[in-house]
Amino acid sequence: METKSISNSIGKKRLFQKLSNREISIALVFLAALLAGLWLPPRIIVATSASLNHRIFFLTKAGGKIKTGDYLVFIHKSEIKTFLKRGLNKKNDRLIKKVGCSPGETLARDEDNQFFCGERPLGKALTKDSEGRNLPQFNFIGPVPDNNYFMVGSNPRSFDSKYFGFIHADEILYKALPLW
């Protein structure tokens, strides 16, 4: 039995001795690319909406501390989901937005429909969409409840928490790190 394993290891050594350093490098680069190709695609998301400044994100686990300014991927479970579905296809009902106000921070809305987190403006809630339909309005003033987040887009026309309210931590699928 020892002679078989010795002859096997000698056979492997001969195989690598027959390859040049360049061929070994090419094989290793190919193997690394193959492994990256299998690992990366499910961790990259492309935002097609104009509601964000960034377009390509790397997805990480949602665990850990979520703070204001983090991007999150979520599926909103409220009754507003039917309104959201007009613009989303059923196979892709995930949304990506930035945390505008975190638990414990004070969310306010003025008489002009402008939202604020503390003193920081988050955007104005529009009353009608681009097709003239009435938009739902989120009406809340006070500290953001535990495990809830007020989500915003970068575009003034972004359909975000100004309309559908808080998202709960249970609805979060991933944290998203902007790549581009």
User: For the chain, first and last CA: distance in Å?
Assistant: 57
pLDDT of res. 84? 53
SS (H, E, C) 107-143: EEECCCCEEEECCEEEEECCCECCCCCECCCCCCCEE
Q: Domain 43-178's class?
A: mainly beta
Per-residue pLDDT of the chain (180 residues; tens, 9 = 90+): 554 555 455 445 555 567 788 888 888 887 787 777 776 677 888 887 778 888 889 999 987 899 999 999 999 876 555 555 555 545 557 889 999 999 999 999 999 999 999 999 999 999 998 889 899 999 999 999 999 999 999 999 998 999 999 999 999 999 999 988
pLDDT of res. 180? 82
List the domain boundaries for the chain: 2-39, 43-178
SS (H, E, C) 34-94: HHHHHHCHHHEEECCCCCCCCCEEEEEECCCCCCCCCEEEECCCCCCHHHHHCCCCCCCCC
pTM of the shown model: 0.75
pLDDT of res. 122? 97
Number of Cα atoms under 13 Å in the Cβ half of residue 110: 11
The residue type at 155: N
